[in-house]
Amino acid sequence: MKVLVVGSGGREHTLVWKIAQSKLVNKVYCAPGNGGIAELAECVDIKADDIDGLLEFARAEGIGLTVVGPEAPLSLGIVDCFEKNGMRIFGPCRKGAMLESSKVFSKDFMIRNKIPTAAYKVYYEPGKAKAGLDDFGCPVVIKADGLAAGKGVIIAQTREEAISAIDDMLIGKKFGEAGSKIVIEEFLEGKEASILAFVDGKAAVPMVSAQDYKRALDNDEGLNTGGMGAVSPAFYYDEETAAAVERDIIQRTVDALKAEGICYKGVLYFGIMITEKGPKVLEYNARFGDPETEVVLLRLESDLIEIMNSVIDGKLEAQKIQWKEEQAVCVVMASGGYPEHYEKGYEIKGLDKAAEIDGVTVFHAGTKKASGKIVTAGGRVLVISALAKNYEQARDRAYSAIRTIAFEKAHYRKDIGKK
Ligand code: AMP
Ligand code: GLY
C-alpha cells in the first residue's frame, strides 16, 4: 500500500519513520515534508491545508491511506472531503476536530458531559470580560477561542495582565477571528501530563503517557513554545491517576461524542492537569501532539498502520497494541530567538554522527535540503529522541547526540528529562 502523510514537522517525520517500518506499506509520500523526511519518503510540494490539491494527488497516485498530522487541515474538513470521495484517511471529521479548533465548543462539551475541567465563562465584549474577572481571582487564564498555533493561552498573574490580554484579543485582534471570542478560566494548580489515545468511534485505547516542556528556557522560564522537549512515561502519572483519566475523562469523552452524533476516529489528545482534586482536562487536541509523538511512537512496538486500520474500521477493541518498557526523552534544538524572531538557512552539521549513538533517532522539524546540504528552515529545527532503560540514560544519549550537532545560534534546554 502507498501511504501519504500530511504535514512537515517533527511529528510528521516520526509518523513517516514509523509507517515506513510497516509490513503493509511499500511507499510513503509526505506533503510537504522536510529535509529529514525526504530520506524516508517522497516529498510532494503541496501545502498541508490545500485539501483539493491533496485529494487530487492521492487519487492520481493511488494512495491507500492518508494520515493527517496537523490540526489545520482537520479543522478545514479534510477527512470529510476524502471520505466523501471514497478515499481512506486517518483523522477525525471536522466536527470532531472542533474539540481542538474551538475552546468554547470544547469547554461547553466538557461541562455538558460532566468531564472534569476548570470552571470558565465565555465572553465576546471586553467590558463584560473585565467585569467577569471578579469571579476568578488571580492567577487567571485567558484563552482565544480558535486555533492560534499554541500562543492563544495567557496565564495572567495579575488583574492588569488579564485586562491587557483581554484587550489584545477582543480589541487589538491579536489572534484575528480566532480571538473574537474568549474563554476566561480558573487557574488549575498541579502537574501536567499528555495522554494520547486511539479512538475508533466507540472504543478508546490510551497510548503510553508523556509530558512536554512548553517553556523556552531551563527551569520552565521564558515564553511558551510549541514544546522544547518531552519524556515518556510522564513523571507524575501513577496508576490511580491513569485509572481516573481512563474512566472519568477518556471513556466519558468518547461516549459523549458518540451520543452527540460525532463519529470521532483518529487520535485524541488529552492535556491533563493532575490536581489535588483529581485529574482535569486542560485541553483537547484532535491529533498526535508535537513533541509528544517523538517519544511515544519511539516506544510503540506494534505496527502503526495495523492500528490505524483498526481505528478506521471500528475494530480497535480486538487490536493488540504493544509498547516498549524503556523510557524515552526528546530534546528540541531550536533556532536562536525562537519562539520570537529567528533566522533560517544555517547549515546543520554532525547529523550522521548523532544518529550513530545507541538508542538515538534524530527527527527533523524545521529543516530543508538546499544544494545537497541540510539547512535550518523553522523555529524548532531538530528533535533528538532517545530510548533507554531509564530517563537518566535516555537523557545522556540525547544530549551526547546534541553535542555532535552544530548549526549557528542553536538553542536547546539543558534540563529536559529532569523532574
Ligand atoms: P492549552 O493550549 O490550552 O493546553 O494551554 C497551554 C498551557 O497553558 C497548558 O499546557 C498549561 O500549562 C497552561 N494552562 C492552560 N489552561 C490552564 C489552566 N486552567 N490552569 C493552569 N494552566 C493552564
Ligand atoms: N505539545 C502540545 C501540542 O502538540 O499541542
Domains, the chain, ordered by start: 2-91 (3.40.50.20), 120-186 (3.30.1490.20), 191-318 (3.30.470.20), 327-411 (3.90.600.10)
- Cα(236)–Cα(282) distance, integer angstroms: 16
Mutate to test the pocket of ligand 1, among 117, 143, 273 (most ligand atoms within 8 A of CB): 273
Residue 219's CB: how many other CB atoms inside 10 A? 10
CB 271 within 8 A of CB 100: no
Report CA(83)–ligand 1 centroid distance (Å).
33
| Rounded (10°) angle between helices 10-19 and 304-313 | 100
- Cα(376)–Cα(343) distance, integer angstroms: 9
pLDDT at 223: 86
CB 307 within 8 A of CB 319: yes
Backbone φ, ψ for residue 371 (5° rounding): 45, 50
Ligand nearest to the CA of 154: 1
- Cα(352)–Cα(332) distance, integer angstroms: 17
Name residues whose C-beta falls within 8 Å of residue 52's C-beta, 6 or more positions apart in sequence.
Answer: none
pLDDT at 126: 87
225 lines ligand 2 (CB under 6 A): no
Ligand nearest to the CA of 280: 1
Dihedral, CA of residue 238, residue 240, residue 241 and residue 245, to nearest 10: 130
pLDDT at 1: 97
Q: State the cell numbers at 199.
A: 479512538
Q: Can you tell me which atom of ligand 2 is nearest the CA of 285?
A: 5
pLDDT at 314: 97
Q: Give the CA distances from residue 87 to residues 47, 326, 345, in Å, rounded to whole numbers and listed in that order.
A: 19, 37, 37
pLDDT at 180: 80
Q: Whose CA is nearest to atom 9 of ligand 1?
A: 282
- Cα(101)–Cα(99) distance, integer angstroms: 6
pLDDT at 147: 85
CB-based burial, 14-52: b 16+ in 10 Å, e otherwise: bbbbbbbebeebeebbbbbbbbbbbebbebeebebebbe
Report CA(149)–ligand 1 centroid distance (Å).
14
3-state secondary structure 9-40: CHHHHHHHHHHCCCCCCCEEEEEECCCCHHHC
Chain-centre distance of CA 282, in angstroms?
14
The answer for 348, left when phi > 0, alpha when psi is -120 to 50, beta otherwise, is beta
Nearest to 54 by CA among 4, 1, 93, 95: 4
pLDDT at 226: 86
Q: Can you tell me which atom of ligand 1 is nearest the CA of 186?
A: 19
CB 71 within 8 A of CB 97: yes
Report CA(150)–ligand 2 centroid distance (Å).
8
End-to-end, the C-alpha distance of the chain in Å comes to 42
Q: What's the predicted TM-score (pTM) here?
A: 0.96
- Cα(227)–Cα(40) distance, integer angstroms: 24
Q: Give the CA distances from residue 128 to residues 102, 131, 154, in Å, rounded to whole numbers and listed in that order.
A: 20, 5, 18
Sequential DSSP letters for 382-417: EEEEEEESSHHHHHHHHHHHHHH-B-TTEE--S-TT
- Cα(68)–Cα(49) distance, integer angstroms: 10
**pLDDT tens, N- to C-terminus, the chain (419 residues):** 999 999 999 999 999 999 999 999 999 999 999 999 999 999 999 999 999 999 999 999 999 999 999 999 999 999 999 999 999 999 999 999 999 999 999 999 999 999 999 999 999 988 899 989 999 989 999 998 888 876 788 899 999 999 999 998 888 788 877 778 999 999 999 999 999 999 999 999 999 999 999 999 999 999 888 899 999 999 999 999 999 999 999 999 999 999 999 999 999 999 999 999 999 999 999 999 999 999 999 999 999 999 999 999 999 999 999 999 999 999 999 999 999 999 999 999 999 999 999 999 999 999 999 999 999 999 999 999 999 999 999 999 999 999 999 999 999 999 999 97
Q: Can you tell me which atom of ligand 1 is nearest the CA of 150?
A: 2
Q: Whose CA is nearest to atom 2 of ligand 2?
A: 289
Q: Can you tell me which atom of ligand 2 is nearest the CA of 287?
A: 4
Ligand nearest to the CA of 365: 2
Dihedral, CA of residue 200, residue 204, residue 208 and residue 213, to nearest 10: 80
pLDDT at 380: 97
